[in-house]
Structure 1
């Protein structure tokens, strides 16, 4: 299995001043821009197997989001307004008036909210196992989702209370359908090194609190059918057969509320299909964005 930095040969690591926040970006290619957004506690290396293969058609930018990876937080809180303000400032700094947005988990949530709040800055959207879908679904899917969220909360809290490399690994195993096949020691090393930053550890502690305090009622941040209907952009809901949070059945039901949406499932993958089956993922993304 190749190294992250072998996969990224030909890409550049750049730092942009995004409204006063020093923002790291792994970037390659020219053409229509596509910004990749990672999930909670993540960083740009989540897309190490996608940046260069897609760069022959697109300007690909995988960023460390606000307060994540090697990106600072400035004085912006890691909430919806903070994430959107930072993404808009990054686009300004990178000279992007408009871009495709592809986000995994939290990143999918950010991308879809960007389309609602700032539709003029978004071209197409890809939600990769995106977070906070609140639609009616079957009882089996609800049990699966609750179990997955509870386990992520437990693993996150375990690391916050006992920040060891082994606990980083255990939390990362949650991301993969078959961690013994797909989770490399190099990837664990990268995240463990990232988590030596006090700021990032604090951010993860904040996410643990958020995971444990989801309101029983709509707090205005979930994607209900009404909010999904507000997104007019061409959207791809790209899911996986073994996503440990929302099931493919739930995502398919949610996609029906989006006015201009297609839906696709990648087999034999968990929460990181872009890593677990990169060739299929890259083909799907290129096909969806090429027009």
Structure 2
């Protein structure tokens, strides 16, 4: 047996063991991690549902790769040669990505994944070298070297070279007659709307969106309250100055805005990410928040959908955010996925969403927030969160599962929890009338 063939045996053996491990996890076992979330973070770098529907196909791919490489050791047919070249190229891609992920300047990694990534990277690169000796011919070796270089090079270019064109858009176009205001602070130059007169209500723009996402509620609540709707840094038309895109940074931004506009105590409301930021702020500054309105909020230490979780990976997340910002089609599809009532997705709504998500601060915040938001302390503090809280969820939410509503109902001491049928994640717009009625009723309580 040649050195190349012995290397092929080693590759096949590693892939076979990896396939068996994935099948073991598919039985429900989570060793060596304490739970499913921790295991997926350790293995992949982000949280997913480590269930048979994901694990069995992965095990099948690994097993097929092992069989192909083993077949190449035993036989020399073109199919085995071509298949082995693809397998070895895949190992090279993973190895080069792992090198990028190990560089501190490229982004943040979950601490446990730092070490598993280093081990997996070293192993994949070693196996790729062994595989290069096994493949024969200029074309096959070109695949082994060229595919990893092209894939990783394209990701690096997408992350650091390609810049989405900024789409010009005036906030007045989407505010239905309401006036934009700005207030400058060391943290950011905040864009906000102020309407009405009465006790203050502060609406934090929905995550990855802008204040127009609260349009119906601003107008309705202004009849009895002073309503502030604000874009936090990395959202909408606010310009970030000195802010970290993590939980500390976003709660500090809320504090900076309240101080700048002279609001001492207020009802605080948010949707999606901003619901989690409102909750975290209320926990840290209970004297400044009288009530909470949380619409499909973040705040639980659970994985996001895979399409969001991948933003946590250095380089990969940055590339996806920048490339996605440059595609109107991708952004419109993302908006429509938040709604059950597609007639609510107007051209004006899409225009505003697309434009604000091409702004440099907002593109950067997408991947930095996904990587930097640690909700574990927020979830742990739920039992000590004393403000009366309204929690509303859409039963057809495709971003954060409606089952999360029950967790808030159980752990918040003073919560009113409602699940609305035929409603998605963008609750303030998708189900404007029932949401507005619920909020108005909640604010009338004493």
Q: Scaled by the length of structure 1, what TM-score is found?
A: 0.83
Asked if the contact 2:196/2:223 (under 8 Å) is kept, the reply is yes
Q: What are the within-5 Å matches in structure 2 for residues 159-178 of structure 1?
A: 159-162=321-324, 163-178=326-341
Matched, 1:52 2:219: yes
Give the secondary-structure state (helix, strand or coil) at the position aligned to 1:264. strand
User: Structure 1: 5+ residue runs without aligned partners?
Assistant: 136-145
Q: 1:251 aligns with which of 399, 405, 414?
A: 405
- Give the CA RMSD over aligned residues: 2.5
Give the secondary-structure state (helix, strand or coil) at the position aligned to 2:353. helix
Q: Scaled by the length of structure 2, what TM-score is found?
A: 0.56
CA distance in 2 between counterparts of 1:170 and 1:185 reads 13
Asked if the contact 1:236/1:261 (under 8 Å) is kept, the reply is yes
Asked if the contact 2:339/2:424 (under 8 Å) is kept, the reply is yes
* Residue 95 of structure 1: how far off its partner (Å): 1.2
Q: 1:239 aligns with which of 389, 393, 406?
A: 393
* Residue 46 of structure 1: how far off its partner (Å): 0.8
CA distance in 2 between counterparts of 1:73 and 1:6 reads 22
Give the secondary-structure state (helix, strand or coil) at the position aligned to 1:151. helix
- 2:362 is aligned to 200
Asked if the contact 1:31/1:59 (under 8 Å) is kept, the reply is yes
Q: 1:99 aligns with which of 237, 247, 266?
A: 266
Greater RCO (CA < 8 Å, at least 6 residues apart)? 1
CA distance in 1 between counterparts of 2:174 and 2:234 reads 25
* Residue 11 of structure 1: how far off its partner (Å): 2.9
Matched, 1:283 2:403: no
Give the secondary-structure state (helix, strand or coil) at the position aligned to 2:244. coil
User: Structure 2: 5+ residue runs without aligned partners?
Assistant: 1-170, 312-316
CA distance in 2 between counterparts of 1:151 and 1:195 reads 17
Aligned length in residues: 268
CA distance in 2 between counterparts of 1:104 and 1:252 reads 17
Asked if the contact 1:129/1:238 (under 8 Å) is kept, the reply is yes
The structure carrying a bigger helix percent of its residues is 2
Q: Deviations over 1:188-236 (max 9, x none)?
A: 11122213322222222324555xxx8xxxx563543x42101011111
Aligned CA distance change for structure 1 residues 8 and 203 (closer, same or farther; 3 Å):
closer
- 1:111 is aligned to 278
- 2:87 is aligned to none
Q: 1:151 aligns with which of 297, 307, 312?
A: 307
Asked if the contact 1:18/1:92 (under 8 Å) is kept, the reply is no
Matched, 1:76 2:230: no
Asked if the contact 1:40/1:207 (under 8 Å) is kept, the reply is no
Q: 1:263 aligns with which of 407, 417, 435?
A: 417
Give the secondary-structure state (helix, strand or coil) at the position aligned to 2:423. coil
CA distance in 1 between counterparts of 2:296 and 2:356 reads 23
Asked if the contact 1:7/1:49 (under 8 Å) is kept, the reply is no
Q: 1:129 aligns with which of 283, 292, 296?
A: 296
